[in-house]
Chains A and B, each alone.
Chain A
Amino acid sequence: MGSPTGRECGRGMTDFGFARSQMAVSLAFHIIFAAVGIGMPLLMATAEGLYLRHREAIYLDLAQRWARGTAILFAVGAVSGTVLSFELGLLWPRFMEFAGGIIGIPFSLEGFAFFTEAIFLGIYLYGWDRIPAVVHWLAGIIVAVSGMLSGVFVVTVNAWMNAPTGFEAVDGRVTKIDPIAAMLNPASLQQVIHMVLAAYVATGFAVAAVHAFFLLRDRTDAFHRRAFGIALAVAAVGIPLQIASGDLIARMVAERQPAKFAAMEAHYRTEAGAPITIGGIPDDAAMATRYGLRIPWGLSLLAKGDRRASVLGLEAIPRGDWPNTRIVHWAFDLMVGAGFAMLALAGWALWLWWRLRRVPDDQWLLRAVVVAGPLGLIAIEAGWIVTEVGRQPWIIYGVMRTTEAVAEMRGLVVPFVTFTIVYVFLSVILVYLLRRQFLETDPSATRRSWGGRPGVSRGG
C-alpha cells in the first residue's frame, strides 16, 4: 500500500505488514462487539421498559434473554477492547508518543464511560432479584447511555486521525496542545453520528433476523413477534437517518480528505460535472475505472450539492500519497449497497406495518429480513475499511505516515498469527454459544424454562 519505503521493502510480508494486519484483525473483531454493545442495551432496556408499563411477562422474558446475549458479547468486547488499548503502544509506539497527549482526553473519558457501563451491566445482569424493578430498568438505561458515550469518545479519536487539529508540532515534537479542540475536530460530529447510528441499525437488523427466523417457523409466537417488532423498529427508524448522515460525512471527507474521497469513488481525473461510478475495476496505471456504472453529475452533486461543481481526482494527489484504490472503492460500494438494501427493506416493512396496523409477518418480508441480518455488520466492517485504508499512507492525516509510527519490534508475525488464531477460535465458540441462546428462545423451550431458571421468577 502506498509507496514501499524502508521496512516495507524486501520479500513477502514485513513486520510493518504484520503490525497493520494484527491491528486490522483486532479492530475488525472488536468493532462488531463494540457496535452490538451499543445496540443491545437499547433493545434490552426497551423490552424491560415495556414490561414495566404493560406488565406482560413476555417482555420481561425478552429483556432477560437479550441480556444473556449482551453479557456474552460485552465480555468479549471488553477484553478485545483492552487488547486494542495495549496494541496502540505495542504496535504503534511512535504514534502514541506523538499523539498520546493530544487524544488521551477522549480516551480517558471513554475509560469512565466504559467503567460506568461495566458497573451497571454487572448490576443489571446479576441484580434481577436484588434491587427494585424501576432501579433495575434505570441501570439498563445507564448501560445503554454509557455504552453509546464510550463509542462517541473513541470515534472522536479516530476522527482526529482523519482531521488532526488542536496542536502545534515543531520538528516532530508537539509543542502546544488544546485537547478539547482535538476532541472536537472537524470530523468528529459526522463520524460520531454515523458510527452510533450504524451500531443501532446493525444490531436492529441482526436481532430482527434471528426473531424473523423463528417467526417463519411459527407465525403465532407472541414472544418472537414482540422481539421482532422492537428490533425492526430500531433498525427501520435508524436506517434513513443513517443514509442522511452518510451524506453529511461524504461532504466532509470530500472537503478534508480529497485523496480518500477520490479513492472511495474511484475518481481519477479532476473534472466539473463529475459522474459517480458504481462498481467497476479501478486501474491506477491507466488512471481509469473500467466497467463501472456511471451516473452523470452524481459525484459533483454528492460532494458539493451542485451538478456543475468540480471534484478533485486522484491525479491531483502525489502518487505516493494514494490509498489502495480498489480496496477503498469496493469497500465503499459494499457499504453503500448494504445501506440502500436495508433502506429498501425498512421501507417495505414500515409500509406493511402502517397498512396492517401491526407488526408485519408477511412471509417474504420475514425471509428478506433473515437474509439481510448480517448487512448492517457487513456495512460497519466495510465502512471501517473505507475510513482506515482510505487514510493510508497516513496514520495521522498529513502529519505522520503509518510507516513512521510502527514498532521497532521484530518477529511481529508471531503475535499476528497468535491473535488471529485466538480470535478465530473465539468467533467459532461465540457463534455456537449465541446460536444456543437463540435456540433456547424456541417457544417450547421458553415455556419449559419459565419456571425453573433462576432469575426468571419475578415475572411469573
Chain B
Amino acid sequence: MAAEHTLGAVILAALVIYALSGGADYGGGMWDLLAMGPRAPRQRAAIEHAIGPIWEANHVWLILVIVVLFTGFPRAFATVMTALHIPMTAILLGIVLRGSAFVFRKYDAQDDAVHRRWSALFGAASFFTPLLLGLCLGALASGEIRVTDGRLSSGFFAGWTRPFAVACGLFAQGLFAFLAATYLTVDTEGEPALQADFRTRGLTSGLLLAPAAALAFILARDGAPHIFARLVSWWAPLLVAVTSACALGALVALWSRRFRLARAAAIGQVTCILLGWGLAQYPHIVVPDLTLSNTATVPSTLRALQTALAVGAVVLFPAFGYLFYVFKRRPALPPG
C-alpha cells in the first residue's frame, strides 16, 4: 500500500478510536446535563468517575487526526480549515468550555449552585460540539466544497449549512449519547438502580438512532450523491448488515441486561458506521476535488511520518492499555 493510503487509514482509525473514547466522553456530558430523577447526583458522580481519569488522553486522538492531516496532506488541511472555518472555530470553543468546565467543577465543588453552573456549561458544550463534528464530516462528504486552481472556490458556507450535514450532526450526537449510556451500564455494575437508569437511557437513545440514521441516509441521495452512489458497491450491503446486526444486538443485550455484550455491540456498531463512511469517501479527503494522492506531501515526509507513527504506537498502546487496566478493570463506583 502506498504511504498516503496507509496514512489515510491511520487518520480513519484515529477518528474511530476518538469516536469510541472521546465521543463517549461527550455523551457522558450530555447525560450529565440530562441527569434527572432521585438519583441525578449519583448519575453525575458515575459519569465523572467514568470519564475523569481518561478524558484528556482520549481527547488527544483528535489532535493526532489534525497533526497527521497537516503533516501528510497539508493542502487538504489548509482547504478544510478554510472551508469549515466557522464550524471548526465553534468546535474549539466547545472543546475549551467543556474541558475547563469539567475540571473547574471538580475542584470548585463546594457550593451546589456553583456546581450546577459548571455542570450546565459542561453539559451544553458536550451537546453542541458533537453536532458540529458531525456537520464537518458531513460537509467533507457532501461534494459541495470545491477547489479550483488549487484554491477554495466554494466560500465559507458550502456543505456544512445543508440538511445532510445537519442530519450527520444529529446522528453523531445520538451515537455518542448511546455509546456513553451503554458504557455507563457497565461502569455502574455495583449499583442496580443506577445501572437501570443508564439502561433506560441507552435503550431510548439507541431507538432514536434509527430515525436519525434513516434521515441521514435519505438526505444523502441529494446531499452527498458521491457517497450515496458508493452504497451500491459490493461491500456496502455486507457492512450495512453487520452494522444493523450490531445495532440490534446492542439493543437486545441492553434489554436483556447483558451489559458487557451491549457495550461490545455498540463499539462494533460505531466502528462499522465510521468505517462505512471512510470506505464510501475513499480515496477522497474532500469530495470530489481533494484525494489522498493529490494532496499528499513529498515521499520523504510521508515515510518519516509513518516511522514516527509506528514508534509512537509502540509507546502509546501499552500506555493506553495500562490506563484502561487501572481504571476500567474494577469500575466499581465509590459509595456516595
Which A positions have Cβ atoms within 8 angstroms of B? Answer: 68, 71-72, 74-76, 78-83, 85-90, 93-94, 96-102, 104-105, 107-112, 114-116, 118-123, 125-127, 130-131, 174-180, 407-409, 415, 418-419, 422, 426, 429, 433, 436-437, 454
Contacts and interface: CB of A to CB of B under 8 A. Distances in A.
Contact of A82 (B57, B89, B92, B102): B92
Interface of B: 52-54, 56-57, 59-60, 62-64, 66-68, 70-75, 77-82, 85, 88-89, 91-93, 95-100, 102-104, 106-108, 152, 156, 297-298, 300-301, 304-305, 308-309, 311-312, 315-316, 319-320, 322-323, 326-327, 334
Contacts, number: 211
Contacts of A107: 67, 70-71
A126 B52 contact: yes
A407 B316 CA distance: 34
Contact of A177 (B100, B107, B298): B298
Contact of B62 (A82, A108, A180, A415): A82
Given A96-B77, A104-B297, 6 more contacts: A93-B78, A100-B297, A131-B326, A179-B304, A409-B85, A419-B93
Given A75-B102, A89-B77, A96-B74, A177 B297 contact: yes
Contacts of B70: 88-89, 96, 100, 104, 107
Contacts of A436: 107-108
A426 B100 CA distance: 8
6 contacts: A107-B71, A108-B308, A111-B64, A112-B311, A176-B298, A177-B298
Contact of B107 (A71, A85, A99, A176): A71
Closest 4 CB pairs of A and B: A104-B71, A100-B74, A101-B297, A89-B81
Question: At the interface, is chain B mostly helix, strand, loop or mixed?
Answer: helix
Contacts of A81: 63
A6 to B, nearest CB: 16
A178 B300 contact: yes
Contacts of B74: 96-101, 104
A5 B141 CA distance: 37
A3 B228 CA distance: 51
Contacts of B98: 79
B172 to A, nearest CB: 18
A138 to B, nearest CB: 11
Contacts of B75: 97
B81 A115 contact: no
A60 to B, nearest CB: 19
A121 B320 CA distance: 12
B316 A179 contact: no
A122 B323 contact: yes
A88 B79 CA distance: 12
Contact of B327 (A76, A111, A126): A126
B108 A114 contact: no
Given A104-B305, A112-B312, A422 B97 contact: yes
Contacts of A429: 100, 104
Contacts of B92: 82-83, 86-87
Nearest to B82: A93
A122 B102 contact: no
Interface centre among A75, A98, A126, A407 (most CB of B within 10 A): A75
Nearest to B85: A409
B117 to A, nearest CB: 11
B297 A415 contact: no
Contacts of A415: 89
A419 B315 CA distance: 34
Contact of B298 (A121, A130, A174): A174
A105 B102 contact: no
A427 B301 CA distance: 39
A118 to B, nearest CB: 4
A75 B100 contact: yes
Contacts of A100: 70-71, 73-74, 77-78, 297
Question: At the interface, is chain A mostly helix, strand, loop or mixed?
Answer: helix
Contacts of B79: 93
A179 B64 CA distance: 18
B305 to A, nearest CB: 6
Contact of B67 (A85, A102, A422): A85
Given A99-B74, A101-B298, A418-B93, A115 B102 contact: no
B157 to A, nearest CB: 12
A178 B311 CA distance: 18
B99 A90 contact: no
A131 B326 CA distance: 8
A409 B59 CA distance: 27
A75 B103 contact: yes
A126 B51 CA distance: 11
B53 A123 contact: yes
Given A76-B100, A79-B99, A127-B326, A111 B77 contact: no
B315 A85 contact: no
Given A96-B70, A104-B67, A409-B85, A83 B96 contact: yes
Contacts of A122: 52-54, 56-57, 323, 327
Contact of A90 (B54, B60, B89, B320): B89
B56 A78 contact: yes
A177 B68 contact: no
B56 A130 contact: no
Contact of B312 (A88, A111, A126): A111
Contacts of B95: 79, 82-83
A224 B95 CA distance: 36
B53 A115 contact: no
Nearest to B108: A433
Given A114-B60, A177-B297, A426-B100, A119 B72 contact: no
A90 B86 CA distance: 9
B62 A105 contact: no
Contacts of A78: 56, 59, 99
Contacts of A109: 308, 312
A130 B308 contact: no
Given A97-B75, A109-B312, A180-B304, A125 B99 contact: no
Contacts of B71: 100-101, 104-105, 107-108
B29 to A, nearest CB: 14
B326 A179 contact: no
A420 to B, nearest CB: 12
A16 to B, nearest CB: 15
Nearest to B308: A108
A75 B106 CA distance: 12
Nearest to A104: B71
Nearest to A183: B304
A105 B304 contact: yes
B327 A130 contact: yes
Contact of B300 (A86, A120, A176): A176
A114 B63 contact: yes
A118 B74 CA distance: 26
